[in-house]
Amino acid sequence: MSEPDEVGVPDEIAQAALRTAERLGKDVADVPLVAIAQEAGISRSTLLRRLGGTRGPLDDAVRARGVDPGGRPPVRERAVVAAARLIGEHGLAAATLESVAAAAGCSVHSLYAAFGGRDGLLGAVFERHSPFPDLDRILERGDDLETTVHALYRASLQALGREPRILPALLADVFARPQGPTAHTLRRLVVPRVLAGLGDWLRKQIAAGRIRDLPLPLVVQQLLGPVALHVLMRPVLESVPEVDLPSTEDSCAVLADNFLRAVAVRARPEAGDGRTHGSPHE
């Protein structure tokens, strides 16, 4: 057993705490004492006895080694925030594990422990900042077609316009390099997410006869394509004095109505009646 440091904690215990926190991707303050004891090769009761019955001296010993024992958000949260900021400001290529670890104040090993690798990290960032969680909640409400489409456009524009602008940054890179690494990442992260939520809802609308029986990729493009282009172009057009842009709410209404006119099934006229009934988007 080594000599205790200035706060009375043996060095091997402090080092065991640091190693365990690194391995679990947690702050030292969030690591259970039993895990630290196992790493140090002693029992929990022995560890507590050497700490004087409280973990305060352990936190002090870790702090004396230049490491914050806790009080910050977990590594996973810090990493998602740091990666989102890097992507929003510099694009996807800037979000390497090394740069994210530096910005989040953790190690690359901690990122592997928390996410399993870069794909897991990017997936967490995308899920946090994409509009799809909001879209899923709208689809679960079971509103009629017109109400749902308008709500989808409103939620999409609101989510994509928030900072950090993750998806616009990714789309801009995809348009610049359609076969580049960002496009490959979006294929892995976005396409399965779209098909699992929005795609399933569109299939049901087609099966129910509310939407024309078109190839699903084209229907998805009809729905999401105008949103993506609007989000990419609006910041540019807002700086042009000659352009009078409609409000976001008015833009949502126009885009939603255009989609419904393009794909919604028209109601058939009743017998003896020259008028059509049902959908106003004919």
Summarised one tens digit per residue, pLDDT across range 63-111 is 887 777 775 677 888 899 999 999 988 888 889 999 999 998 888 988 9
What integer pLDDT is reported at residue 229 of this predicted model? 87
Instruction: For each of the domains in the chain, give its residue range(s) and CATH number, in order of start.
Output: 11-64 (1.10.10), 75-116 (1.10.10), 130-263 (1.10.357.10)
Smallest CA-to-CA distance from 208 within 269, 142, 277, 152 is with 142
Residue 71 is predicted with a pLDDT of 57
- For the chain, the residue count is 282
Reported as a pLDDT band with limits 50, 70 and 90, residue 36 is: very high
Q: Which residue has the tokens 């059509």?
A: 276
Give DSSP secondary structure letters for 156-207: HHHHHHSSS-HHHHHHHHHHH-TTSHHHHHHHHHHHHHHIIIIIHHHHHHHH
Question: pTM (2 decimals)?
Answer: 0.63
The span from the CA of 200 to the CA of 206, in Å, is 10
Q: How far apart are CA 105 and CA 189, in angstroms?
A: 26
In angstroms, the CA 261 to CA 281 distance is: 5
Per residue in 176-213, pLDDT tens? 888 887 788 778 877 888 888 899 999 999 999 999 99
pLDDT value of position 75: 83
Dihedral angle sign, alpha carbons of residues 235, 238, 242, 245: positive
